[in-house]
Amino acid sequence: MEEQEGTLPQKADFSSWYNDILWRAEIMDVRYPVKGLYVWFPFGFGIRKRVYGILRELLDRDHEETLFPLLIPEPEFMKEAEHIKGFENEVYWVTHGGTTPLDVKLALRPTSETAIYPMYALWVRSHADLPIKVYQIVNTFRYETKHTRPLIRLREITSFKEAHTVHATWDEAESQVEDAIARYQEFYDRLNIPVLISKRPDWDKFPGADYTIAVDTIMPDGRTLQIGTVHHLGDHFSKTFSIQYEDTKGEQQYCHQTCYGISERSIAALISMHGDDLGLMLPPEVAPVQIVIVPVIMKKREEEVMQAATQLEAELQNAGYRVKIDTRDLRPGAKYYYWEMRGVPLRLEIGPRDLDNSVVMSVLRTGGKEPLPRADIISEVNRKMKEYTNVLLEHAQAHIQNHLFMVHEESELSNTVSKGVAAVHWCGNRECADRIEEISDASILGTEVRTDLIDQKRGNCIICGKPDGIVTLVGRSY
């Protein structure tokens, strides 16, 4: 792909930058001939593999991973539709097997409550069967009518991690919600993506949930992206799907449930938060290639240089790094451009004069070139990787701080949400909420915001002036 024409647009023109970097850094091929469906390039898939490896590591502490079927029979799906009115407008239907019409239409899962919960009704008999903490990472299908966009709004969500838990009481389900939020915070900390966690307003919660806690981040253009949600489902689904257990007194009790999901939006956030005008910047932990070695080939001494390069590669691989030697017949500058675009944190050049005592190291976008004593290479690389990761995190934290504004005057609202997220005081009345959304042409994102970036002290409602208004986030979202 290095012969691609033109250069990456400025990140300030975020929409063009985002579309361009997806193919220029070989993340996703958007040419698949179905709207809202995209193809993972192998390099992009390497990022996904590591990002979801972290997610599995965190969930596997106390969840079990499994797989439920993709196809959901209409009667089960319609139980949700009539009780909970969730996804009937977004669901795809399979109506034929070959040329034979199916006697029962099958839904492609938009999310898997109606596939999983009839099975949970069979799995749960007694108190002893609880809690269940199960997740799956699957593709799901949603007939999105809003603007589709790779990694952000797909019709086939290729990397849909959905956890579905079952508990004896509402309170136990609530503590599971808190557990899930902490796990999501830890996940995004590992990706160096700062998040704003808040409680969605009642009119925007997940269909069938008691409440929804959302994990948002702020994209480079100031709009928010919902990169995770945790839902307390109460006993709504257990009543619809008869998931009951016999309690210690021999009585049948309805279970209380939670579900929480993350999709490839996590990767959209990773790319968008850390990338810059020169290309991707990836936290080393999820970079498919962490170090590229560029041998500076001089005629006559090619042998020695290649030998030194392979020796260096082996040493770094033994230290646990993912290393590549770039032996392509390209000018060094073209090689640098190629790997910089792909967010490889660290480059080592090794040439004939460096053979015995030093290697020239370049750290992506932060330092110039510096010669490293060959003997210290591992400790120096370890140090540089940590420094580099901190630079990413500091930039990301500054970005959030610079795009989150306390707003006290109605007149400042629309200007603020055109560049970031406004934090206002809201009395909690729906009319004031409607007014806030009307004036700002943005949405109420949430209340009970878990952040120390803004003062949580109550104040007068920005619309009606009533005292004791709660801090509420307002913003435009993807």
Ligand X SMILES: Nc1ncnc2c1ncn2[C@@H]1O[C@H](COS(=O)(=O)NC(=O)[C@@H](N)CS)[C@@H](O)[C@H]1O
Partner whose footprint covers residue 427, from ligand X, Zn ion, none (CB < 5 to 8 Å by kind): Zn ion
Amino acid at the residue 21: I
Contacts of 377 (CB under 8 A, 6+ apart): 312, 315, 316, 348, 359
Partner whose footprint covers residue 471, from Zn ion, ligand X, none (CB < 5 to 8 Å by kind): none
Label residues 123-158 b or e (16+ Cβ within 10 Å = b). Answer: ebeeeeebbbbbbbbbebbbebeeebbbbbbbbbbb
Residues near ligand X (CB under 6 A) are 111, 113, 142, 144, 153-154, 157, 162, 206, 226-229, 231, 259-261, 263, 265
Which strands sit side by side in the sheet containing 323-325, from one edge to the other? 323-325, 291-295, 346-350, 358-363, 369-373
Q: Which stretch binds Zn ion (CB under 5 A): 24-32, 157-165, 269-277, 428-436?
A: 428-436
Tokens linked to 311: 């020796």
Partner whose footprint covers residue 124, from Zn ion, ligand X, none (CB < 5 to 8 Å by kind): none
Which of 166, 422 has the CB closer to Zn ion? Answer: 422
Instruction: State the nearest-atom distance from the C-beta of 229 to ligand X, in Å.
Output: 4
Which of 111, 224 has the CB closer to ligand X? Answer: 111
β-pair partners for 224? 218, 477
Partner whose footprint covers residue 229, from ligand X, Zn ion, none (CB < 5 to 8 Å by kind): ligand X
Which of 225, 289 has the CB closer to ligand X? Answer: 225
Instruction: State the nearest-atom distance from the C-beta of 466 to Zn ion, in Å.
Output: 5
If one counts every other C-beta atom within 10 angstroms of the C-beta of residue 458, the result is: 13
Which of 226, 416 has the CB closer to ligand X? Answer: 226
Partner whose footprint covers residue 226, from ligand X, Zn ion, none (CB < 5 to 8 Å by kind): ligand X
Question: What is the C-alpha end-to-end distance of the chain, expressed in Å?
Answer: 29
Q: 417: number of CA atoms within 13 Å, CB side?
A: 24
Which of 266, 416 has the CB closer to ligand X? Answer: 266
Is residue 461 close enough to count as binding Zn ion by CB under 5 A?
Answer: yes
| The 3-state secondary structure of 50-100, one letter per residue | HHHHHHHHHHCCCCEECCCCCEEEHHHHHHHHHHHCCCCCCCEEEEEECCE
Is residue 157 close enough to count as binding Zn ion by CB under 5 A?
Answer: no
Instruction: State the nearest-atom distance from the C-beta of 440 to ligand X, in Å.
Output: 22
Q: Which stretch binds Zn ion (CB under 5 A): 79-87, 103-111, 230-238, 458-466?
A: 458-466
Q: 193: number of CA atoms within 13 Å, CB side?
A: 35
Which of 208, 351 has the CB closer to ligand X? Answer: 208
Is residue 463 close enough to count as binding Zn ion by CB under 5 A?
Answer: yes
Which of 259, 281 has the CB closer to ligand X? Answer: 259
Please confirm whether the linkage preceding 220 is cis (ω < 30° from 0): no
Binds Zn ion (CB under 5 A): choice among 151, 432, 444, 473: 432
Q: 434: number of CA atoms within 13 Å, CB side?
A: 3
Residues that bind Zn ion (CB under 5 A): 427, 432, 461, 463-464
